[in-house]
Chains A and B, each alone.
Chain A
Amino acid sequence: MSALPVSLASYIGLSAVMFFVGVAGVVLRRNPLVMLMSIELMFNAANIVFVAFARAWMHNAGHIFAFLVITVAAAEAAIGLAIVVAVFRSAKNVDVDEVALLKG
């Protein structure tokens, strides 16, 4: 078991920074496409930690889990974009604050 290029804490720190940049994108932006892209950023932040721990422990279960995360991210992007297209078709704009049909 050879050592990592840098300490494990550096990878976790990078992942945390990327995750919170993604959180800021979801919270602050109003464009649903940019919000979906920020969600992709958060998925990738999780993947960094999975792969870094897999490498640190020399255990490839982390790789498998990162693979599953990529699959879920692909499904999520497809369904999210389909929802954006469906909303745009009926409402002719994609402002997430204007879409309030489900509001009681």
Chain B
Amino acid sequence: MIAFWVISIVMVASAVATVTAKKPVYSVVALLLNFAALAALYITLSAEFLAVMQIIVYSGAILMLFLFVIALLSSGVSSFNVGPDRMPKAAIPAALVIAIALGFVVYGLSNASIATPAAPSGSALGPVGSADVFGSVSDFGKALFTTHLLPFEITALILMVAVVGVVLLAGDKTPFVGTRERAREVRREMREAILREGGVQ
């Protein structure tokens, strides 16, 4: 119970820091803290495999991708300037809309009775880290590869579409030539350039 409140305070604070940070690198660091706290929250909910997944995929892969892009965009002659934010004009209306939306959520939560179904499907609850308990790798894997096999296959399709899209959007636009042919071409260009300059001084 104390763990939940500590984690949620850390998560909300780091989420706000992510959104309000001046430089994108600081946003990435705050988001890293948020993801670590979220992994801890998954542990308290006995979803240990998802906690590990969160650290590996989000903190390890996605945030590194963000850092690489920030480093790439900042390394040119002109550092990327994005101008002032829309904060001054839109902060008050946005805060109002968010407060109203959160008010709806709190109102709905205070009135709703959240039903719990009678048929649990996963394994029994147990200490985090032991085999075959709810949320462990074996429990997760059994569900993923038997009951939910089709969504898992669709995941593969989604990732392939992402890879093809990234190569199409950000890849090299020059037409493909065989490396040997290209190397010969480069050598000829260099030789001609040297001849034009009148030889190496």
Interface of A toward B, CB cutoff 8 Å: 1-2, 4-6, 8-10, 12-14, 16-18, 20-25, 27-34, 36-38, 40-41, 44, 47-48, 51-52, 54-61, 63-64, 66-68, 70-79, 81-86, 88, 92-95, 97
Contacts and interface: CB of A to CB of B under 8 A. Distances in A.
Contacts of A23: 98
B190 interface: no
Given A2-B125, A94-B73, A30 B140 contact: no
Interface in B133-175: 134-135, 139-140, 143-144, 147-148, 151, 155, 158-159, 161-163, 165-166, 169-170
B46 A60 contact: no
Binding site of B, secondary structure by majority: helix, strand, loop or mixed? helix
Interface of B: 1, 3-5, 8, 11-12, 15-16, 18-19, 21, 24, 27-28, 31, 34-35, 38, 41-42, 44-47, 49-50, 53-54, 57-58, 61-62, 65-66, 69-70, 72-73, 76, 78, 80-87, 90-91, 94-95, 98, 101-102, 105-106, 109-110, 114, 116-117, 119-122, 125, 134-135, 139-140, 143-144, 147-148, 151, 155, 158-159, 161-163, 165-166, 169-170
B90 A28 contact: yes
Contacts of A68: 151, 155
A9 B4 CA distance: 12
Given A18-B12, A60-B121, A74-B62, A13 B69 contact: no
B106 A13 contact: yes
Contacts of A36: 66
A34 B109 contact: no
Contacts, number: 237
B24 A33 contact: yes
Contacts of B12: 14, 17-18, 21
Contacts of A28: 19, 85-87, 90-91, 94
Contacts of A1: 116, 120
A34 B4 contact: no
Contacts of A58: 120-122, 125, 134
Contacts of A14: 8, 11-12
A24 B91 CA distance: 9
A67 B58 CA distance: 12
B13 to A, nearest CB: 10
Given A10-B4, A70-B53, A79-B166, A25 B18 contact: yes
A12 B27 contact: no
